């Protein structure tokens, strides 16, 4: 059977999304065909809206539609939880176990990918430490996450705040966004000082 160009193109676009393989991408493309014109227009509008409206919080680097995110605007700043990506903020927030603010690095240290401290959102973290009693490093428990945690600990400890690391209730090599709320809750509750 000859491939239909427009379906293949749309499926190719869907397959560029994380976790979407060829079969799932094709199912998504067929689902779009079955949508009403109004639903397709709304879908396209939502894509454009998120791309045009979402920006980085000027304090923590999380996603927001405002200058400062709702978390930074409404919480005490005495504890900062440092994560690699905005999706990690969502995972911890969904667990409901942290009442402080966050700082998003937008990556982790990775010599293999030539990602150094200068490539991460670290300088603004150092600028936020005045009045902070604890910095919780909640990067993934993999090689890059551990290297980042050790680097941050050595950088922050001399400045005064206690530096802790989430407990290893999250298995090595896994990602926070896929952990369930109970696992994240235990990891946050069992954090250790670095």
**Whole-prediction pTM:** 0.78
Residue 170 banded pLDDT, cuts 50, 70, 90: low
Residue 173 banded pLDDT, cuts 50, 70, 90: low
Residue 193 banded pLDDT, cuts 50, 70, 90: confident
Q: What does the pLDDT look like over 16-27, one tens digit per residue?
A: 999 999 999 999
Q: How many CB atoms lie within 10 A of CB 104?
A: 25
Task: Measure Cα distances from 120 to 16, 18, 77, 125, 148 in Å.
Answer: 24, 22, 21, 10, 10
How confident is the model at residue 128, as a pLDDT?
95
Is the predicted pLDDT of residue 171 greater than 70, yes or no? no
Quote the CA–CA distance of 136 and 153 in Å, as a whole number: 10
Residue whose token pair is 């676009």 = 13
How confident is the model at residue 186, as a pLDDT?
67
Residue 74 banded pLDDT, cuts 50, 70, 90: very high
Q: What does the pLDDT look like over 108-160, one tens digit per residue?
A: 999 888 999 999 999 999 999 999 999 999 998 788 998 999 999 999 999 99
- Phi (first) and psi of residue 64, to 5 degrees: -160, 165
Q: At 110, list the tokens.
A: 């990775």
- DSSP 8-state class, residue 3: P
Is the predicted pLDDT of residue 194 greater than 90, yes or no? no
Using DSSP, state whether 80 is helix, strand or coil: strand
């Amino acid at each position: 059977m000859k491939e239909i160009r427009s379906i293949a193109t749309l499926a190719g676009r869907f397959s560029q999304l994380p976790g979407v393989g060829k079969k799932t991408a094709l199912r998504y493309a067929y689902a779009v065909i079955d949508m009403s014109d109004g639903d397709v227009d709304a879908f396209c509008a939502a894509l454009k809206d998120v791309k045009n409206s979402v920006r980085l919080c000027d304090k923590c680097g999380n996603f927001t539609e405002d200058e400062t995110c709702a978390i930074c605007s409404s919480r005490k700043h005495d504890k900062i939880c440092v994560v690699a990506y905005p999706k990690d903020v969502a995972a911890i927030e969904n667990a409901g176990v942290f009442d402080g603010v966050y700082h998003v690095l937008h990556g982790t240290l990775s010599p293999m990918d030539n990602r150094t401290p200068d490539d991460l959102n670290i300088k603004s973290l150092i600028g936020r430490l005045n009045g902070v009693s604890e910095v919780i490093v909640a990067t993934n428990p993999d090689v890059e996450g551990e290297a980042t945690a050790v680097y941050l600990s050595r950088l922050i400890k001399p400045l005064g705040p206690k530096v802790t690391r989430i407990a290893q209730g999250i298995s090595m090599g896994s990602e926070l966004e896929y952990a369930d709320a109970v696992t994240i809750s235990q990891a946050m509750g069992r954090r250790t000082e670095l």
